[in-house]
Chains A and B, each alone.
Chain A
Amino acid sequence: MPGKTHVQTKINGEDVEFLCEPRQSLLECLRDIVGLTGSKEGCNDGNCGACTVSLDGRIVTSCLVLGVEADGAEVNTIEGVASPDGLHPIQEAFLENAALQCGICTPGFIVATKALLEQEPTPSEHRIRFWLAGNLCRCTGYDKIVRAVMDASERMAAAS
């Protein structure tokens, strides 16, 4: 078995160190080593978006990033979206718009939506659909997800 590599990173604002094999994906490291199982594996080849996390401010499918690439980087996952004050407006909007059924794709959608709304606070429906085209949902038909993102945009505007 190959030797392990030391990775020093920041996850959801906290300093985290772990040992991983060079071949292990960031998704695998988050889930099996760090214990953050909110990021989901739907395909392990970058096509479903269920493992979406933010890496140094850019969203990535964490199954296509190696764990060792997180060394010196900042990782933000679904577990860091809510605050001690409560749910993030995006999370509230997903709940109130019933934008999830089974919920397995939801963490990826919320992380991707947060990145979108931080860059573009009032995206059009088409822009939302374009941005979220890398996140698959098989339950909802996307209607309520798109509505939730539009609702979240309004909530965030109202809060700021």
Chain B
Amino acid sequence: MTTTQEAPKQYKVIGTRPIRHDGADKVTGRAKYGADYQTAGLLYGKILRTPHAHANIRSIDTSKAAAYPGVRAVMTGADLPETKNEDGDRKITLGELGTDLKYLREGIMARSKVVFKGQPVAAVAAVNQHVAEEATKLIEVDYEVLPPVTDVREAMKEAAPLLHDDIETVELNEKTGRISNIAEHFQHRQGDPDKGFAEADVIVEREFDTATVHQGYLEPHNCTVHWNDDGRVLIWNSTQGPFNIRDATAQVLELPLSQVKLTPMEIGGGFGGKFEPYGEPIAAVLSKMSHAPVKIVMTRTEEFESTGPTPGSYIKVKMGAKNDGTLVAATAHLAYEAGGFPGSPVGAAAECVFAPYNIANVQVDGYDVVVNKPKTAAYRAPGATNAEFASETVVDEIAEKLGMDPIEIRLKNASAEGTRRADGTAFGNIGCVEVLEALRDHPHYTAPLEGENRGRGVAIGYWMNAGLQSAVNLAVNNDGTVALTEGSPDIGGTRTSISMQAAEVLGIPAEDFIPSVVDTDSIGWTFGTGGSRTTFATGMAAYKAAQDVKAQMIERAALIWDVDADSLEMEDGVIRSKTDSELKMTFKELAGELNSTGGPIAGRGVVNPTGQGGAFAGLIVDVEVDKETGKIDVLRATIAQDVGKAIHPSYVEGQMQGGTVQGIGWALNEEYYMEDDGRMANSTFLDYRVPLALDLPMIDTVIVEKPSPAHPFGVRGVGEVNIVPPPAALANAAYRAAGIRMNVLPMSPPNVMKTLWEQG
């Protein structure tokens, strides 16, 4: 069941549900994803990965692999450009996260030390993937195995094994000279928390541990790279960020950016995980060596062990409230695992942890900690879910102690325009209150829930969303259709949501657009599809490009009719005179005249918007806890989210439902199960187990539309925040079902049983 609130303004195209432009290709198997790319003379690359989570590399002997029949090239880390001292400070943006060039390069292929199991140490290109795999097994690597540390709390101890001898802990923006696994400790502070807690009538302080989880996109990373004879490096891959990967690959290889051309193929999911180069620089070097195109496709186990998951964390949250429910103070200690190299999303976590609430006295301490696990990457509102799991269960406990309704206490303290986050940023127009009201007013919230061991929980979540750079070109075809070119990979129907915005401006159907996601030589620099930004920012570029076309169409009509352009207007796809009813022409009719009246019309839109505003989503969830086995079943779920304006409501609902279910998987089941030696024990889908259709009910959606003033149609962005509330909402529901306060993720049967024994 779907509830859509009435929009204040009526549109012709926006808010409708056209069939997506790439739909037929995707339901017939014709759509070409990265792994489907084929070309003459293609070689297959295979990466040799370290079996050790922490080791020094003494030597690598590739001679047997190089001599193996069918092998065309073998490389090691020594074949990548050497990292210079100054590279240590060259920051590379990777989606919503970033890293230093030297760490990026080391993660792509180690030279002297490995810091996570699965880190590449060598690679082979051969005539097929089987030969390549066999050859990698002939490479001999002599390791000095070191003790690993895979838990953030252990890694922060003074006696912990050190991953790097050059990570000097940055303490509150100052280099300390102290070498440790703590890359950085930062702090945000508003007001006086000690004073605030002194005024509080109720204080709750809890500790939380959350496991590492993976984005789990169905399509493994892939790339085909050809180091062309003219010196250009040509990449075909599945990526969220064509320009991000192009630039990072060029920097790793020490090439000018323009020497690398990336052609994005269709992409099979990303969720933040497809913003980093993994195979691209390796395939490039192998291609240069072999003088042939080289394709690398990861296995599922390589995905789990070697690509960026989202961090495990240790979190301590303390919150205090007055008897009337006013939250007066809050502190958080956020220790996030960065993986093998610095750069966890703890910065974003600190901005989000208390963001739903207006609290006068707040302190947040964040720690970015390296551990012997794969380097973390972005994952849907990166950092926020861990932190808000903690704060939203503490708020629930305070409500219980005060005898308040959990939505009432949230509404009483809800952030609004002008409220400052912990980092000092003041909110603009946000829909926190509206989301909470939508939950409160939904029939689910007051529906009877009968049966033993069943309970209902709620939680709200915040994420900041992104603006950033996008470009769109439009070309009017002579039959009245419009070709739209853009640089944002389409992971969930954005060809259509972007076209619809241009269609609204021109007053023609969305179906009259022919959208294409093009290569990095063919469109202006466009930040990748992430940060909930594509329909917001690339849509805004399409809006501007359509305005450009509209102005030119009016000018052309003015030329044809020999009247002043100011006397004409264009509405619903018709150009007409404001004064002379005889003068009118449809968009299509005028399009047919273009070549004989001055030539083609093309429009452009380039944007770099800010002020996208924050996103809030809230979840009501009913669960049943099996006290015999510890299994938690989800009975019913309703998500409300402020999306600003839903361009294509079906795909907005899809984002809300998909994020909710990823959050449910994170909450109930998913985890990197780490052995003591630093190996992940469950690196297959069978053992990691993302949610199945059978695990779930329908996911009801409430689209809340509080238009964002930063976008012409009020779009706020929709992709990420929906993953944030599920873990806390499920934990709060489990409390009402079984009387247990879960302080660990996942809330898997063993962890629930342990908690039942401890608390029950």
Contact = CB atoms under 8 A, between A and B. Distances in A.
Contacts of B29: 36-39, 77-79, 107
A10 interface: no
Interface residues of B, number: 62
Contacts of A23: 130
A4 B531 CA distance: 48
A78 B20 contact: no
Nearest to A50: B218
Interface string A105-145: 11100100000000000000100111011011111111111
B677 to A, nearest CB: 23
Given A47-B685, A128-B693, A143 B657 contact: yes
Contacts of B651: 98, 101
Interface string A6-50: 000000000000000101100000010001111111111101101
Interface in A141-158: 141-147
Contacts of B219: 40, 42, 102, 104
B657 to A, nearest CB: 4
A81 B658 contact: no
A78 B657 contact: no
Contacts of B491: 101-102, 139
B69 A1 contact: yes
Interface in B34-90: 35-36, 38, 69-70
Given A96-B19, A105-B218, A106-B26, A129 B300 contact: no
B28 A82 contact: yes
B33 interface: yes
Contacts of B660: 141
A98 B493 contact: yes
A144 B654 contact: yes
B693 A139 contact: no
A91 B28 CA distance: 8
Contact of B268 (A98, A104, A133): A104
A145 B657 CA distance: 11
A87 B130 CA distance: 37
A103 interface: yes
Interface string A83-100: 000010001001111101
B340 interface: no
B27 A91 contact: yes
Contact of B35 (A41, A129, A141): A41
Nearest to B655: A101
A29 B399 CA distance: 60
Interface string B652-664: 0111011111100
Interface string B480-496: 00000000000111000
Contacts of B653: 98, 143-144
Interface stretch (B357-365, B366-374, B510-518, B694-702): B694-702
A142 B696 contact: yes
Interface in B662-677: 662
Interface residues of A, number: 59
A79 to B, nearest CB: 5
B685 A102 contact: no
B220 A41 contact: yes
Chain B CB within 10 A, most for which of A1, A103, A141: A141
Contacts of A24: 130
Given A50-B218, A104-B33, A138-B269, A43 B131 contact: no
Q: Of A41, A79, A94, which is in contact with the most chain B CB atoms at under 10 Å from its CB?
A: A41
A100, A103, A129, A135 pick with most chain B CB within 10 angstroms: A103
B145 interface: no
A140 B69 CA distance: 45
A133 B684 contact: no
Nearest to B652: A98
Contact of A45 (B31, B662, B685): B685
Contacts, number: 185
Given A95-B20, A100-B27, A132-B693, A137 B654 contact: no
B684 to A, nearest CB: 6
Contacts of B268: 40, 42, 102-105
Nearest to A135: B693
Contacts of B30: 38, 79
B583 interface: no
A105 to B, nearest CB: 5
B191 interface: no
Contacts of B522: none
A40 to B, nearest CB: 7
B300 A95 contact: no
Interface in B602-637: none
A104 B266 CA distance: 9
A24 B685 CA distance: 21
Contacts of A47: 300, 684-686
Interface in B532-554: none
Given A104-B219, A139-B658, A37 B693 contact: no
Contacts of A97: 650
B26 A141 contact: no
B739 to A, nearest CB: 29
B27 A137 contact: no
A141 B696 contact: yes
A47 B684 CA distance: 8
A24 B269 CA distance: 26
B23 interface: yes
Nearest to B26: A103
A116 B653 CA distance: 26
A146 B654 CA distance: 13
Nearest to B659: A141
Contact of B27 (A104, A106, A128, A129): A106
Contacts of A79: 28-30
Interface string A67-81: 000000000011101
A43, A110, A139, A145, most chain B CB atoms within 10 A: A139
Given A40-B218, A41-B220, A102-B492, A138 B658 contact: yes
Interface string B210-234: 0000011111100000000000000
B19 to A, nearest CB: 5
Nearest to B36: A37
A21 B130 contact: yes
A37 B32 contact: yes
Contacts of A91: 24, 27-28
A88 to B, nearest CB: 8
A142 B634 CA distance: 14
Q: Most B CB atoms within 10 A — which of A1, A81, A135? A: A1
Nearest to A108: B218
Nearest to A86: B24
B647 to A, nearest CB: 13
Most chain A Cβ neighbours within 10 Å, of B26, B69, B217, B492 = B26
A98 B651 CA distance: 7
A47 B303 CA distance: 14
A23 B270 CA distance: 31
Contacts of B492: 101-102, 139
B24 A87 contact: yes
Contact of B70 (A1, A45, A104): A1
A100 B686 CA distance: 23
Contacts of B32: 37
B339 to A, nearest CB: 21
Interface of B: 17, 19-20, 22-24, 26-33, 35-36, 38, 69-70, 130-131, 215-220, 266-271, 297, 299-300, 491-493, 648, 650-651, 653-655, 657-662, 684-686, 690-694, 696, 698-699
18 contacts: A1-B131, A21-B130, A24-B130, A41-B35, A91-B27, A101-B655, A102-B268, A102-B491, A103-B22, A103-B26, A103-B266, A136-B218, A137-B693, A138-B269, A139-B269, A140-B657, A142-B661, A142-B691
Given A47-B685, A103-B26, A143-B696, 9 more contacts: A40-B33, A41-B297, A42-B300, A48-B300, A96-B19, A101-B269, A104-B33, A105-B218, A139-B492
Question: Which 3 pairs between the two chains have the least Cβ-Cβ distance?
Answer: A38-B29, A104-B268, A141-B661
